[in-house]
Amino acid sequence: MVGQRFIQLLDDHPFFDLSLLFSSERKSGNQFREMVDWQLEGTCPDRISRMMLNDFDPELLKEHDIDVVFSALPGSLLRDMEKEAALDGGKVFSNSASHRYDRDVPIMIPEVNGEHLGLISSQDTFPAGFIVTNPNCSTSGLVMSLAPISQFGIKKVYISTYQALSGAGYPGPSSLSMLGNIVPFIRKEEEKISIESGKILGKISGNKVEEASIKIIPSCARVPVKDGHLLSINVELEKEITPQEAKDTFSSLRSLPGLPSAPAHPIVVLDEEDRPQPLKDVSTGSSVKGMSVSIGRIRTDGNVLSYFALVNNTIRGGAGNAILTAEMAHEMNFIGGGRG
Ligand SMILES: NC(=O)c1ccc[n+]([C@@H]2O[C@H](COP(=O)([O-])OP(=O)(O)OC[C@H]3O[C@@H](n4cnc5c(N)ncnc54)[C@H](OP(=O)(O)O)[C@@H]3O)[C@@H](O)[C@H]2O)c1
Q: What is the DSSP string of 124-135?
A: TT-SS-EEEEPP
CA triplet 96, 97, 99: central angle to 5 degrees? Answer: 100
Give the residues across from 308 on adjacent strands: 232, 296
**pLDDT (tens digit, 9 = 90+) per residue, 270-303?**
999 999 999 999 999 998 999 999 999 999 999 9
270 Cβ closer than 6 Å to some ligand 1 atom: no
Nearest CA, atom 18, ligand 1? 169
Residue count of the chain, please give it: 340
41/305 Cα distance (integer angstroms): 36
Report which of 23, 13, 191, 162 is spatially closest to residue 101, judged by C-alpha positions.
191
pLDDT tens-digit profile of 75-98?
A: 889 899 999 999 999 999 999 999
Is residue 142 within 8 A of residue 197, CB to CB? The reply is yes
Q: What is the pLDDT of residues 98-118, one digit of tens each?
A: 999 999 999 999 999 999 999
Apex CA 273: angle with CA 272 and CA 274, to 5°?
Answer: 95
Helix (H) or strand (E) holding 238: none
* 23 Cβ closer than 6 Å to some ligand 1 atom: yes
- Has residue 57 got a pLDDT over 80? yes
189 with 218: CB under 8 angstroms? Answer: yes
> Is 145's C-beta closer than 6 angstroms to any atom of ligand 1?
no
| CA 212 to each of CA 49, 106, 127, 139, 250: distance values in angstroms, whole numbers, following the listed order | 44, 14, 30, 14, 19
Catalytic residue among 44, 99, 116, 137: 137
Round the average pLDDT of the chain to a whole number and report it.
Answer: 96
Closest to 290 (Cα-Cα) out of 94, 1, 12: 1
pLDDT tens per residue, range 176-225: 999 999 999 999 999 999 999 999 999 999 999 999 999 999 999 999 99
Active-site residue flag, 116 = no
Centre a 10 Å sphere on the Cβ of residue 271 and count the other Cβ atoms it contains: 8
Q: Read off the pLDDT of residues 120-176 as tens digits, 9 standing for 90 and up.
A: 999 999 999 999 999 999 999 999 999 999 999 999 999 999 999 999 999 999 999
Q: Quote the ligand 1 centre to 3 CA distance (angstroms).
A: 7
Q: Is the pLDDT of residue 58 over 50?
A: yes
Q: Is 171 close to ligand 1, i.e. is its CB under 6 Å away?
A: no
Burial class from Cβ neighbours inside 10 Å (0-12, 13-18, 19+) for residue 317 reads: buried
| Centroid of ligand 1 to alpha carbon of 228 (angstroms) | 17
Residue nearest to atom 17 of ligand 1 (CA): 169
Query: 229 an active-site residue?
Result: yes
Q: Residue 104: CB partners within 8 Å, gap ≥ 6?
A: 119, 120, 122, 123, 124, 207, 208
Report the alpha-carbon distance of residue 116 to residue 123 in Å, rounded. Answer: 13
User: Could you give the count of Cα atoms lying within 13 Å of 206 in the half-sphere of its Cβ?
Assistant: 3
Nearest Cα residue to 112 out of 196, 220, 3, 41: 196
DSSP designation for 107: B
Q: How many helical (H) and strand (E) elements, i.e. helices and strands, does the chain have?
A: 12, 13
Ligand 1 atom with the shortest distance to the CA of 313: 3
For the full predicted model, state whether its pTM sits above 0.85.
yes
